[in-house]
Amino acid sequence: MAPRFLPAAALLAILPLAPLGAAEAPPIAGTWRAMQGGQSVEITLTADGTYARRDAGPGTQPMTVTGRWTARPAEPWLHVRIEDWSPRRACGLVGCTPIRMRTGETYRFILQGEDRLWLEDSGGRIELQRAG
C-alpha cells in the first residue's frame, strides 16, 4: 500500500488516555514531517505529552490540531486526544460552515530506525521522517 496522507479530520476517535508517567521521552517523541503531492504534514509529539499537527496543501488554508498523546513502549498504539483546532470554520461562495472534530484517534505505529515513523489507521498509512 502506498503511503497516504490522512486528513486532519481523520485524526479522531474517543479513547481514555492516561498521562505519560515515564521520566524518559518515548522513542516516537519529536517532530515528524511528510510531503506528498504538494500536501505537507508536520506532527510534533513532545516528551510531556503535548501533540500538534499541521496539514497544509496548495491553495488551502493550513489546518492545525492540538491536544495530548500517549503511547506505551510495549504496544504499537499511539493515542491522540484532540483539544483544539484551527480554523474552526470553512468559508466558501455560499457562506461558512463549522469544522467539527472527533475527540481523538488511535494509530498503529511502526518506528523504523530513529528517523522514520509510519502511522496507520482505517484511513490508510502515512510515512513521516524525523525533523527534530
Question: What are the pLDDT digits (tens) for 21-76?
Answer: 444 667 899 999 999 889 999 999 999 999 999 999 998 889 999 999 999 878 89
Q: What is the CA radius of gyration of the chain?
A: 15
C-alpha cell at 30: 519529536
Q: What is the pLDDT of residues 89-114, one digit of tens each?
A: 999 899 999 999 999 999 999 999 99
| Per-residue confidence band for 14, with pLDDT thresholds at 50, 70 and 90 | very low
Q: Give the pLDDT score at 72.
A: 82
What distances in angstroms separate CA 44 from CA 2, 11, 90, 91, 94, one per listed residue? 23, 14, 24, 27, 35
**Under 8 Å between Cβ of 5 and 41:** yes
